[in-house]
Chain A
Amino acid sequence: MSTVLFTLLLGLPIAGTVLCALLRGRKPLEVVTVVGSGLTLCSGVWMMWKVITEGVVSSPQGWWYADGLSAYIILIVSGSAFVVALYSTGYLRRQIRNKKVDDQQLWLYYLLINVFLFTMMLVLLSNNLGFLWIGTEATTLATAFLVAFYERESSIEAAWKYVILCSVGITLALFGIILTYFSALHVVHVSGNALLWSSLIQVAKELDPGVLKLAFIFVLVGFGTKAGLAPMHTWKPDAYSEAPAPISALMAAGLVNMALYALMRFSILVNRAVGEGFTSTLFMIFGLASMAVATPFILAQRDFKRLLAYSSVEHAGIIVFALGIGSPLALFGALLHLLNNAIAKILLFLTVGNVQMAYDSKIMRKVTGAIKVVPVSATFLMIGVFALSGWPPFGMFISELTIISAGFSSGAVVQVIAFIAILATIFGGFIYYTSKMVLGEPSAAAKGGDAGKWSLVLIGLLLLALLVLGVSIPPPLKMCIECAVNVFKG
């Protein structure tokens, strides 16, 4: 039974890729991608249900593994992929109509999106740390051409920076993985098993603490680069602003969470071996640093997608900060925030994509009076920004509040005060710029034409979800997150 699940979760995206490679024509590609990601999402739900009812799911040879944590993240990632796939159909149709994209590019888009989903699933399901690495580097490679999709000068520059920086980071992470393997070799007697997380976690107390700490530092830098933590975040603004809006959305919701998952996995292992103080300190430092570094850039931004990228840096910092606090409440908040952030980012990226297409410009100065040009999207934008900044009654408020109270109750008062201060500053900057974009007279660059009805409905549903999460957390979700938190505490 578990083999079926793993085959589905991995095989569906592979099948999607193969089919997309063989097919041509807009409709078949759309169908394959949407159906494929939808089925993957269903498999993800099934996996979550299985994990909740039966505990850890692992494959016979031990290569694949799913517990509460990975199942939860798989849900988020596959859900994001499905939503993005749905939206992409409308988006690409409009782009073809506007003559921005040709059929060859359309085919490449759908092909790469399937590959992207596969590589993310590879990372999330693997028990073997080596596969985790291979999958993460593969996600960089899969998204490289997606970032450079529009083949502008700036796109290639952004894609180059993205591939180089992430590859450098991930190479350092490989060294960390080698060190972990090294520390385990003399304890785990079958050498092939020394890379398996499930074996490592059992012998964690016998692993050499010094080597493991050093390994964690390398892993933190490496996967932190992928997640966009400061100071390794410099590729994010360029990559997010140059990629097509749905791809940026999927990167912000999928990739970031996948990278954070990798960090969580390693931190669980290291915490088991050397106690929690080490990772906690590092997480808090990187978390606060990311938030602090993101702030001035958010306040001084001219391009909305870059703004969102820095916001992504900020929120990755928030989640990592919460991981640093480490109490069950904080972990709950972190995982909830993962979900909220994903929904909010997808919502905002897709909305901005609509606005961009109507104005044919990314620079905010040129975009004014959106409320008159694309009323629905503009409204969504305004509300979405409120949600992202942490206003009640939206979900982010709840998760940030959870983290703050967890921080106070576990005594990290100074850090939490810094946390609050930074959040407040960013909040102000966002509101200011968005209102400039939305209100006022439409600028000359306005071309008009909002997205199709169904795309707008999709975005509206996302907004609704955020609202629901802000009011109360549905019990099934609560169960999922608690299941994930339990993995941390073992």
Chain B
Amino acid sequence: MGIANLQSIGLVIDILAAAILVTAFLIVSSRNLVFYIRLFAIQSLLLGVVALLVVVGYGEMHILIAAILTIVIKAVAIPLVLTKIIERIQVQKEIDFSINITVSLLLCGGMVILADSVAQSILSVQRPDIPAVSRVLSVSIAMMLIGLFVMMTRKKALTQIIGLLTMENGVFLSGLSITYGMPLIVEVGIFFDILVAVLILGVFIFRINKTFDSISIDLLRSLRH
């Protein structure tokens, strides 16, 4: 691959990473459950494209399967499952927060700064073989923090799943950025785990809905201390 080609691939990856971060922020800024799921699908799709670009640009073939899995499982299958769940249990599509949107967005902005300083401290190990994609590390750490934030401050069970999956996306992206992804078997195993986790959580949502007639986490408070 010529140098110019690598540079343009690097540029596209940068743009996609910024777009992924924007989707994370849009998730924080939104009230609509269906929108959450769509944003997550877009986010995973962009992530898959980034992985494909890493394959194409840097010749790391083992990520190809992981990239395809990302697109198929996270961008298509899981959003389908989640949408089906919403249709089946007919929840109220508005989400309640414990921290309102304006403050949430500001906090997440702060988290991006924090993520960047953490990433810088990791990348300060100056080595010749660090992938050029390592700039994207800050975005991935930010996504982990934002996913965690969404899980803690949004009150619907489904949003906790999306927060968890956003965190997973962040970790996958961090793997891509500093190591070109882990060995294939490990990545496949991780995907399998995630898929099963979502399915299990989905079953739980059905059961929660049956017993509580809603999926607000507020009601899951009967077990105290």
Contacts and interface: CB of A to CB of B under 8 A. Distances in A.
Q: Do chains A and B touch in the complex (CB under 8 A)?
A: yes
Interface in A173-223: 174-175, 178-179, 181-183, 185-186, 191-192, 195, 208, 210-211, 214
Interface stretch (B19-27, B37-45, B79-87, B118-126): B118-126
Interface in B145-197: 148, 151, 157, 160, 164, 167-168, 171, 174-175, 178-179, 182-183, 185-186, 189-190, 192-193, 196-197
Given A178-B179, A182-B179, A195-B183, A160 B189 contact: no
Contact of B168 (A141, A171, A178, A241): A171
Q: Which of A167, A186, A208, A214 gathers most chain B CB within 10 Å?
A: A167
B207 interface: yes
A161 B171 CA distance: 21
Q: Which of A133, A144, A168, A191 gathers most chain B CB within 10 Å?
A: A168
B129 A185 contact: yes
A164 B156 CA distance: 13
Given A131-B189, A191-B183, A211 B125 contact: yes
A210 B125 contact: yes
Nearest to A300: B225
A281 interface: no
A159 interface: yes
Given A134-B193, A214-B121, A153 B201 contact: no
A164 B125 contact: no
B98 interface: no
Interface in B189-217: 189-190, 192-193, 196-197, 200-201, 204, 207-208, 211-212
B192 to A, nearest CB: 8
B222 interface: yes
Contact of B164 (A164, A183, A210, A211): A164
Q: Which of B144, B190, B197, B208 gathers most chain A CB within 10 Å?
A: B197
Q: How large is the interface on B (under 10, 10 to 19, 20 to 34, 35 or more residues)?
A: 35 or more
A391 to B, nearest CB: 27
Given A141-B200, A160-B201, A164-B201, A134 B190 contact: yes
A476 B167 CA distance: 46
A312 to B, nearest CB: 16
Contacts of A192: 183
A138 B204 contact: no
A314 interface: no
By secondary structure, the A interface counts as helix
A393 to B, nearest CB: 34
B151 A164 contact: yes
A73 B191 CA distance: 28
Contacts of A171: 144, 164, 167-168, 171
B179 A130 contact: no
B151 A157 contact: no
Contacts of A183: 125
A179 B179 CA distance: 9
B225 A297 contact: yes
A192 B187 CA distance: 12
B223 interface: yes
A154 interface: yes
A455 B25 CA distance: 56
A172 B143 CA distance: 12
A271 B7 CA distance: 40
A167 B200 CA distance: 12
B204 A137 contact: no
A364 B211 CA distance: 26
Interface in A146-173: 148, 151, 153-154, 156-161, 163-164, 167-168, 171-172
A443 to B, nearest CB: 23
18 contacts: A130-B190, A133-B186, A134-B189, A137-B197, A148-B204, A148-B207, A154-B223, A156-B207, A160-B157, A163-B197, A163-B201, A167-B164, A168-B151, A179-B178, A186-B129, A208-B125, A210-B121, A238-B223
In the complex, the 3 A-B pairs of residues with the closest C-beta atoms, listed nearest first: A130-B186, A134-B189, A137-B193
Interface of B: 118, 121-122, 124-125, 127, 129, 144, 148, 151, 157, 160, 164, 167-168, 171, 174-175, 178-179, 182-183, 185-186, 189-190, 192-193, 196-197, 200-201, 204, 207-208, 211-212, 220, 222-223, 225
